[in-house]
Structure 1
Amino acid sequence: MNLPSAFLTRMQEMLGEEYEAFLQSYESGHYQSLRLNPRKTDREEFMEKSPFHLTPVAWEKNGFYYSEEDTPGKHPYHEAGVYYIQEASAMAPVGYLDVQPGDYVLDLCAAPGGKSTQIGAAMQGKGILICNEIHPARAKILSENVERMGLTNAVVTNESPERLSAYFPEYFDKILVDAPCSGEGMFRKHEEACSEWSPENVELCAKRQDSVLDEAAAMLKKGGRLVYSTCTFALQEDEGSVARFLLRHPEFSIKETHRYDGMEPGRPDWAGTEPVPDGMEKTIRLWPHKLHGEGHFLAVLEKTGEVPEGYRARSLYGIQKGIAPKDFAAWKEFERESLKKQFDGIFLLFGDQLYLAPKDMPALKGLKVLRPGLHLGTMKKGRFEPAHALALSLSPKDAVHCCNLSGDSQEARQWINGMTLSKDGEKGWQLVCVDGYSLGWGKLAGGILKNHYPKGLRKTM
């Protein structure tokens, strides 16, 4: 691997005697891993069904390494949202966010969605999750991953941090800032990151991180938790970013946290500030020569104070108002005929598209919103057509009619490629599943199950 010479010189200065071990880690290849979706399965169930060779990731209960011979991205389970292919070190920051069901949570720099979907899983469908990405193309990928993993309480926005902070003053219980960075920790996994690296880009990223963190601070409640993370080794972007933030925001402090085997404390002498804020050794570095993962950094920050008893977070425009029941009557008919589960929340209509937003969702007037909650489907003249997102949020017990395919069958792969199936049964909508995991919708008529798998997602597997 052709690593930048300026990068190597700095790493040698940083690591001293450990430098050779660090270099050697680039010759060993990177570890591949996935994270199970607890909204779809649990460890015990998946270990029984799994066609892969799995070993646990120490810092994430749903994380597993898989072997080189495994191809989880080409298995029907992937399309069913049973797991998310995610680098092991990247699983660490969300665990330190300590998300609880019912929290109001912001993932400020969220694409492609690994950490957002990890947060959503911890929330168990309760509370409000805002997943934001400033770049439109990446925000679209984020929205697709939120859909695939079956999240029901997530809102996807495409905004700048400055715009969001105007809407959400001291609103969130927890905020994740997985900051845009120089990506040095990903050189082993993504060699193209090497060609994009420069000392000037490191400085540019550090300045951008200062701005993003300032906006995040304004959106966090008193007593709330902010986790800052990067996938770089650069001093200016790691200890440096945290130190500069603490000097600008004395209302924050670094929280003492548990470090797993192989994780190292941050270095106060790498802060690059005068004075050096207290607690820099409580930050955490993940080194590729110390553990089975790529290079990462994280810090757990807490905001001083407590919110008054009975405090209710309020966004700029208050609570989102829903549409009247008469405006989604076709949905209610579909719900009665095809579902065993009843949905509760705020019903929203965008054109002919019906969404279910979480209760108490903030009004999003003026914001660029890609996904305002769970996409239920399309309101057509005299009927309702369910959305793929709705299917992926369900389990077989939620649907009146199901068609279950075997994960290792040709039928399952053909279904994902858009083929129809021959099937007997009562006509109407059927939840198509693979080994009990929801995969999409089919509509049965005349012994043929018509495929409603979205054309844009169809693929040969």
Structure 2
Amino acid sequence: MRLPEAFVAKMKKLLDEEADEFFAVYENEKINGLRVNPLKTDPGAWVKTAPFSLSPVPFCPTGFYYEPDEQPGKHPYHAAGLYYIQEPSAMAAAEALQPEPGDTVLDLCAAPGGKTTQLGAMMKNRGLLVANEIHPKRVKALAENVERFGLTNTIVVNEAPETLAERFPGFFDKILVDAPCSGEGMFRKEEEAASFWSPAYVEECAARQRRILESAYAMLKEGGILVYSTCTFSPEENEQTMEWLLETYDDLRLLPIAKIGGIEPGRPEWTKTNRSDLVHAARLWPHRLKGEGHFVAKLQKQRPTPPWSGRWAKANAPKAAVRLYRQFEQQSLQTVQHGTILSFGSHLAMLPDRCPDLSGLKVVRAGLHLGEAKKERFEPNHALALALRADEAKHVLDLSSDSRECLQYWRGETLSTGGDRGWLLVTVDGFPFGWGKEVKGTVKNFYPKGLRLI
């Protein structure tokens, strides 16, 4: 592929004797990966029976490489949320943050949702995960990926970082800033990224990253962890941005990231002050491991911050609408959903525990979208289906992933069963796939129109 001349000259100067090895990577095919969803299946057991040839990503326990001729994105398992297609080196950032169940976590630049879904799975759907994306078009894909992965503890919002910083000072235990960048690690994957690149664009990205980091710092608790990552090689956006951050906020300290599976240290020599602690950061080079490239740094805030003094969310759903949902739950589910229920028009959502007041924010998805109250009936949402296990539904229609019926359902067609059980959880090889309503031997299809197989 043709690389920008200024980029080639810059990387030759930076990498010196390594440069030939680095540029040779661009003659090869891009690396493909997926991350198995531990909320839905055991990754180690599932890969043994997976319909693809998979090999482990050494720095991510749920990550696997797949072969270029395979298409896991077109399998019904992908639609059921069993895995997320993700460039392997991008998996390192969430692994560095290591959120735990019960944490309060922010993914500040979250679209399309690869790292959000990884964080949510690591949290086991416990605690609060706020996933923010400033761009309205990109936030839709983020919300869809959160839904497909079965995340119930996640609030998806469409705000500027500074707006959130005003609302949530000192609120989060852990924050991920996967910053918008010049995308040098995307050149092999997306050639248009190479055509868009310029030295001026690198400087523009570095300035934007620093503004985002100012907001992130303001939202972090004392003792909280901040992980910063990019998919670019530029020192201006990586080590030099971390140098600026550490000089601006002198209470921050860099924490070491494990250098496993080919991960290398940061490069202090590429900064103005040659900060030795930048070796704690991580460089994922495409000529040193199987991946397109990433930079990751992990920092801890030590300055005392006042406790957050904002308001918490309160239930506001009409009693009649909640009654309709509880009737559906009693008739169709083996489990009871506990939590604060909010109404968005006729739609109901169940919030995660200890969720802040969301009024005034552009909320795209609030926790678990239960469904819609319609006159005297309740229609469950697709998100509820994907958040359940098969044994949590009273009535299940299981389809084989390689069957004609599975394709029919995925296309939005009706199915014939001979039963009359009402709402059914449709599953594929035992994994929840969507809703159907069985009436007089026919299953009406409730698979969302925008997600259907064309």
Provide TM-score, normalisation by structure 2: 0.98
Q: Name the residue aligned to 1:170.
A: 170
Correspondence for 1:453 = 447
Aligned equivalents of 1:267, 1:389: Cα separation in 2: 44
Query: Equivalents in 1 of 2:339, 2:419: separation in Å?
Result: 32
Contact (CA 8 Å) 1:239, 1:266: kept in 2 or not? yes
Contact 2:106 2:129 in 1 (8 A): yes
- Of 397, 405, 412, 2:399 maps to 405
Instruction: Identify the match of residue 385 of structure 2 among 391, 410, 414.
Output: 391
User: Contact between 2:341 and 2:348, CA under 8 Å: does it hold in 1?
Assistant: yes
Shift of 1:424: 2.8
Amino acid at match of 1:285: R
1:372 aligns with 2:366: yes
Letter in 1 for 2:290: H
Cα deviation for residue 425 of structure 1 reads 2.8
Aligned to 1:429: 423
Written as runs of structure 1 = structure 2, the 5 A alignment for 1:135-284 is 135-272=135-272, 275-284=273-282
Q: 1:324 to 1:455 in 2, by over 3 A?
A: closer
AA at the equivalent of 2:308: R
Q: CA-to-partner distance for each residue in 1:140-196, whole Å, 9 max, x for gaps?
A: 110111111110010000000000001111100100000000000110111110111
Change (3 A) 1:46 1:207: same
| Alignment CA distance shift 1:327-1:422 (3 Å) | closer
Q: After alignment, is 175-184 or 324-333 more displaced?
A: 324-333
Give the C-alpha shift of residue 326 in structure 1.
Answer: 4.4
1:256-405 equivalent positions in 2, closer than 5 A: 256-272=256-272, 275-304=273-302, 314=308, 316-323=310-317, 325-405=319-399
Equivalent position SS for 1:16? helix
SS of the residue 1:363 aligns to: coil
Equivalent residues of 1:246, 1:277 under 8 A apart: no
Matches of 1:159 and 1:320 in 2, distance apart? 22
Instruction: Confirm or deny: 8 A CA contact 1:149 1:392 kept in the other structure.
Output: yes
Q: Is the contact between residue 321 and residue 373 of structure 2 (CA under 8 Å) also seen in structure 1?
A: no
Give the letter for the 2:277 counterpart: G
Output the CA distance in 2 between the equivalents of 1:234 and 1:136: 28
Structure 1: which 5+ residue stretches go unaligned?
none
The Cα of 1:284 is off from its aligned counterpart by: 0.7
CA distance in 2, matches of 1:44, 1:233: 32
Q: Which residue of structure 2 aligns with residue 3 of structure 1?
A: 3
The letter of the residue matching 1:405 is L
What is the DSSP-based 3-state SS (H/G/I as helix, E as strand, rest coil) of the residue aligned with 2:341? strand
Query: Which residue identity lines up with residue 417 of structure 2 in the other structure?
Result: K
Residues 432-452 of structure 1 show CA distances to partners (whole Å, capped at 9, x for unaligned) of 000111000000011111110
CA distances 1:31-53 after superposition (whole Å, capped 9, x unpaired): 11100011111124312431100
Given the alignment of the two structures, is residue 42 of structure 1 paired with residue 28 of structure 2, yes or no? no
What per-residue deviation string (whole Å, max 9, x for no partner) do you get for residues 256-307 of structure 1? 22111311111112123xx444511111101000000011101001111578
Equivalent residue pairs, number: 454
Cα deviation, residue 325, structure 1: 4.3
- 1:296-351 CA distances to partner (integer Å, 9 max, x unpaired)? 101001111578xxx9x636333444436444110000000000011011100010
Q: Deviations over 1:365-391 (max 9, x none)?
A: 111110111100001101100000000
Structure 1 stretch 130-139 or stretch 36-45: which is displaced more? 36-45
- CA offsets 1:113-166 (integer angstroms, 9 cap, x no match): 000000000111110000000000001110111111110010000000000001
Pairwise CA RMSD: 1.4
- What is the CA–CA distance in structure 1 between the aligned matches of 2:440 and 2:48, rounded to whole Å? 36
Q: Secondary structure at the match of 2:300?
A: strand
Give the counterpart letter for 2:421 in structure 1.
K
Give the letter aligned to residue 352 of structure 1: S
2:111 counterpart letter in structure 1: A
Percent of aligned pairs with the same amino acid: 51
TM-score (norm 1): 0.96
Given candidates 416, 420, 426, the residue that maps to 2:410 is 416
Cα contact 1:314–1:362 (8 A) shared by 2? no
CA contact 1:321–1:363 (8 Å) conserved in 2 = no
Deviation string, structure 1 residues 65-122 (Cα, Å, up to 9, x no partner): 1112211011000100010000000001000101100000000000000000000001
AA of the residue aligned to 1:381: K
C-alpha distance in 1 between matches for 2:418 and 2:61: 41
